[in-house]
Structure formats: structure tokens, C-alpha cells
Amino acid sequence: MTGLAICTLTGADDSIRLDGLFRLSMEFPFVEWGVLFHEVQRGTGRYPSIGWIDKLCKDMARHPGARFALHVCGRDAVSQFLVGVGTASRIASYFGRIQLNFVGSDFDPAVVIEAIKRHPAKTIITQHNAANAGLLEVLGELPNHAFLFDESGGRGASPQSWPPPIAGKLCGYAGGLGPDNLEVELPRIQQAAGQSVFWIDMEAKLRDKLDRFDLVRARRCLVICQRLTIA
């Protein structure tokens, strides 16, 4: 495999049976399932219910090879995680990678730093975009912190050019990726990343016309990644 280490497919919701995720994890060991948690919107749309997430957390122990990341969304949930309280912190304990979807200026940098240091065995991800540009200087030296390039902000638009990785940081790439354009965009990302290890993340284009997570579209993306990255 080249520099692509993980393909994160985000947004599995209550419509998805967990055994379907675990089967695809066995077939494609490089897949990571991004689970969105929002304190207010949980149980609606792309945010699974707490019952679905709790069942997933319980079943993870029986499938140690499967990868899952928790994407903490919304000010309330992010605040919970940063100070180590509430549902967000409880379920985060089951995940090896935690992505904080927030605007950096909304939170005290010292609190963010302390939260990341409090979880040295986990990778804590923040989005790197115009709104969060100041986080590079603040978080750049933390070894368990990673950046996700995402100028799209969930709008499903790919950039004209993908940025090179930040020196010394594990970086991921998101923005408009999906089964319709991955064959074109993944080689462009590989070129931008050079010899660095990286991951990709996609969300919006994995949903069907009823706004449900679509395992058929997810599998198409995994097949493309496998074909393009394995010699």
C-alpha cells in the first residue's frame, strides 16, 4: 500500500446493521468507520442514536480488527469532551481516534491542549481550514494530534488543489470525495502527500436519496481505494 493508511467512511446511522460494517472491515482492513455524535441531533439524519452507538461500543470488543473513529460535533458535545464529562466523554473512551468538529476560536486553547494531553494513547483530530488556521501554532507540537484538511466544511466540494502535508504531523484529506470522483481525486491527493502517510475521509456522497448511509456506495469507494493503492 502507498501513503494511504486509512479510508474513513463517515456517517453510519441507525439504518445500518452493525454486522454489515464488521463484514466490510474484514474484507477491507484499511477502512475506518466515522461515527458522528451530536448531543442535540443524535438519532436524526446522519447522527446515530445513543442506543446504536452503545451497541457498537459493546460489539467492538468482539471485532478488534475493525476501526472506528468518533467525530464529536456541536458546541455542547465538544465542550463535554474537552472537560471530560457527559455522554461525549463516556463513548469517546471506546474509540482510538477522536475528531473534534469545532471552530477553534470558540474554545480556550489551553483547554484544548489539556484535553489532547489527557488522552496520550488516542489520536485527536482537528480540522485544518481557514476558520482553524490558528490551531497550527497552538497544537503543532502535540504528538497525538492530527490535522484533517477540510476546506469544504461538510459541503461536499473538492478543492482545486490538495495541500501538502504539514511537516511532522499526520494529515488527512476531506472535501467532496465519493464514489463518483475518487478515482480522479485520490491520485491527486497521493501526489500532494508525496511520501507521507495520510488518510482520506468522506461523508456527504455516501448517502442515498433519503439521506441514509449507503453501504453499496461505501463499498464502491473501498474497492477503488484498494485498486489504486495496492500494487
CATH of domain 4-229: 3.20.20.70
Under the banding of pLDDT at 50, 70 and 90, the label for residue 230 is low
Say yes or no to pLDDT of 46 above 70. yes
Model confidence pLDDT, tens digit, residues 181-193: 999 999 999 999 9
End-to-end CA distance of the chain: 7
Q: Could you please report the per-residue DSSP string of 108-121? A: -HHHHHHHHHT-TT
Q: What is the DSSP-derived secondary structure letter of residue 101?
A: E
Q: What is the DSSP-derived secondary structure letter of residue 86?
A: H
Say yes or no to pLDDT of 194 above 90. yes
Task: Specify whether the CB–CB gap between 165 and 193 falls below 8 A.
Answer: yes
Under the banding of pLDDT at 50, 70 and 90, the label for residue 2 is low
Say yes or no to pLDDT of 156 above 90. no
Q: Could you please report the per-residue DSSP string of 159-207? A: -SSPPPPPTTS-EEEESS-STTTHHHHHHHHHHHHTTS-EEEEE-GGGB
Give me the pLDDT at residue 69, please: 98
Model confidence pLDDT, tens digit, residues 99-118: 999 998 999 999 999 999 99
Under the banding of pLDDT at 50, 70 and 90, the label for residue 131 is confident
Say yes or no to pLDDT of 231 above 50. no
Half-sphere exposure of 18 (CA within 13 A, CB side): 18
Q: What is the pTM of this model?
A: 0.95
Say yes or no to pLDDT of 1 above 60. no
> Where does the chain have alpha helices with state H?
18-27, 50-60, 75-83, 86-92, 109-117, 135-139, 182-193, 215-229
Task: Specify whether the CB–CB gap between 74 and 38 falls below 8 A.
Answer: yes
Q: In whole angstroms, what is the distance from residue 38 CA to residue 60 CA? A: 21
